[in-house]
Amino acid sequence: MNMIPQQTNQARRWFLSQCGIGLGSAALWELMSSGVAAQATVEQSAAVNAPLAPQKPHFAGKAKAVIHLFMCGAPSQLELFDEKPLLAKHEGQPLPPSIIGDQRYAFIQPDAAVLGPQYRFARHGQSGAEISEAMPHLARIADKLCFVKSTHTDQFNHAPAQLFVNSGFSQPGRPCLGAWAIYGLGAETRNLPAFVVMSTGAGLSGGAALWSSGFLPTLYTGVQFRSQGDPILNLNNPAGVSDQLQQDTYRLIGNLNRSRLNVVHDPEIATRIANFEMAARLQTSAPELLDFNQETQQTLDRYGCQPEKPSYARSCLLARRMIERGVRFVNIFHSGWDAHSDVVGNVRKNCADTDRASAALVEDLAARGLLDETLVIWGGEFGRTPMVESNPALGRKLGRDHHPQAFTMWLAGGGIKPGVTLGATDDFGFHVTEAPVHVHDLQATWLHCLGFDHERLTFHHAGRDFRLTDVHGRVVHEILA
């Protein structure tokens, strides 16, 4: 029974539709984009601007979609992209105190000995990009990539650092990059989720907050596809449930939800409606998306993908198929890069899991004419120390600790200049010495590629306007095409 006086309902409707905070719009997006739009009142129709309908950004961005390959645990830049011969010369000796400064570490002492590079490096392509032997496939496409070797962050521990890269804040509760992208751009397709998340490897320190919509309506939360078994459960009706029964059930639930929505205008009811309707559409669209028989054996071999086995390679190929079908944002989280011990084995294993497929994804997007409008991001939450971590009590030997001062990320496509390396670190790989790029700067640049001024893409919450880059960040124009 509705216990709220009609006068209160009218006041709430006026508040939601007139105060400019967007809740009424979020609540009724599905009403206005489906066959039930005629049931909405004239007052509601005037107030609603369907947030998942395609929307124009601030300016014409070159990227229409994003694939974020997030390497959880922090890959060692010193074994992959940033060769430091001086480390080999000084191996076994501590770094000069003037380099370390007042930096403190969780698992090593400031006077820990230097560990030299554990892989050989070479320069590749016409750009002369510096890539180690651990990534032969990435080396092959060096001229399609942009390396930012001067990335730095504020965070030292995994969970806050992962959250910081993905949401611009070190604590849960803020919208992630994917949620901001969908909030700003809307969806290109109604047959698949606009924002999809996949996870490979071990667990994630940052958890589900890494793809959360935070204080944005939950409509913008990433939809997680499972890595084990069927990516999406319950695509087929259970025994005894006919199509007619399912349709009748959806209709009844939809009518009840919309009836309540018209009374309280709660955006979470709109999300519930959208989820039911997306679930129904996925019964048709998901089987086609997941049908890898459509791919040639040559393509499967290029990725190193065995469709029946969950893997990073399978996720990368699935990401390309999603982008082709209008998915706007895909996150692939690959865990396991936390090399506190045996950095050689850690890099070897993770590169074996990811190198071929990452390179194949970029090549495949380019071959299909999709790379120019798809921004590909690769990187972790911070870097690894030039000093060795060896702790017999913890069973650790020849590893590297967390290092927020300097690490490398690479980008491709979607408005990024190919064949470029930006930034440099000192001879020990400890500090950035040229063109420093903060994580907030990268976030501002990623949004710029999508057509947004990071200072203007905001959401009013708790009395003020919030944005992905908080009150920081600059666009890194040096890497823009």
pTM: 0.86
Strands 129-132 and 459-461: unpaired
Per-residue pLDDT of the chain (481 residues; tens, 9 = 90+): 344 444 444 444 444 444 444 444 444 344 344 433 333 333 333 233 366 889 999 999 999 999 999 999 999 999 999 999 999 999 999 999 999 988 888 899 889 999 999 999 999 999 999 999 999 999 999 999 999 999 999 999 999 999 999 999 999 999 999 999 999 999 999 999 999 999 997 778 999 999 999 999 999 999 999 877 677 766 667 777 777 877 777 788 878 888 888 888 887 887 777 777 777 777 777 889 999 999 999 999 999 999 999 999 999 999 999 999 999 999 999 999 999 999 999 999 999 999 999 999 999 999 999 999 999 999 999 999 999 999 888 889 999 999 999 999 999 999 999 999 999 999 999 999 999 999 999 999 999 999 999 999 999 999 999 999 999 999 999 999 9
Domain assignment present for 57: no
CA distances from 380 to 113, 159, 361, 453 (A): 24, 12, 18, 24
Residues 245 and 353 in one domain: no
Indicate whether 400 and 353 sit together in one domain: yes
What is the span of the domain harbouring residue 259? 6-50+233-273
The last residue of one of the domains, among 273, 300, 334, is: 273
Number of domains in the chain: 2
Alpha-carbon Rg for the chain in angstroms? 24
d(CA 249, CA 242): 11
Do both 148 and 109 map to the same domain?
Answer: yes
Listed residue (284, 305, 389, 290) closest to 353, CA to CA? 305
Domain-embedded: residue 209: yes
- Residues 298 and 433 both lie in one domain: yes
Alpha-carbon distance of 411 to 446, in angstroms, equals 10
Grouping H, G, I as helix, E, B as strand and the rest as coil, residue 117 is coil
pLDDT (0 to 100) of residue 438? 98
**Helix (H) or strand (E) run with residue 389 in it:** strand 383-391
Integer Cα distance of 373 and 171 in angstroms: 31
Tell whether 151 and 11 lie within a shared domain: no
Altogether, the residues listed in the chain come to a count of: 481
Q: Which amino acid is at 400?
A: R
Residue 284 maps to a domain: no
Whether residue 420 sits in one domain with residue 393:
yes
Q: Which amino acid is at 392?
A: P
Spell out where 236-365 has E strands: 329-335
Same-domain check for residues 333 and 260: no
Q: What is the pLDDT of residue 33?
A: 42
| Nearest Cα residue to 77 out of 159, 132, 12, 4 | 132
Structure confidence at residue 234 (pLDDT): 66
Find all residues with CB under 8 Å of 245, minimum gap 6, and list them: none
- Residue 72 and residue 202 share a domain: yes
Residue 56 lies inside a defined structural domain of this protein = no
Query: What are residue 53's phi and psi, to 5 degrees?
Result: -70, 150
In a domain, 81, yes or no: yes
Distance from C-alpha of 380 to C-alpha of 3, rounded to nearest angstrom? 51
For residue 367, what is the domain's CATH number?
3.40.720
In whole angstroms, what is the distance from residue 342 CA to residue 346 CA?
6
- Please check whether residues 207 and 329 belong to one and the same domain: yes
Q: Beta partners for 102?
A: none
Residue that finishes a domain, picked among 244, 273, 302: 273
Q: Give me the residue label for tokens 């499972």.
A: 226
Element (H, E) at 183: helix 177-185
Question: 246 and 220 in one domain?
Answer: no
Same domain, yes or no, for 326 and 260?
no
Q: 216: Cβ–Cβ under 8 A, 6 or more apart, which residues?
A: 175, 179, 180, 183, 459
Distances from the Cα of 446 to the Cαs of 193, 223, 374, in angstroms?
21, 21, 11
- Assigned domain for 282 exists: no
Quote the tokens at residue 411: 């980008």
Picking from 273, 298, 332, the residue at the C-terminal end of a domain is 273
Q: Alpha-carbon distance 49 to 58, whole Å?
A: 17
Classify residue 221: in a domain, yes or no. Answer: yes
The tokens for 1 are 């029974």
Q: Is residue 58 part of a domain?
A: no
> Do 297 and 427 fall within a single domain?
yes
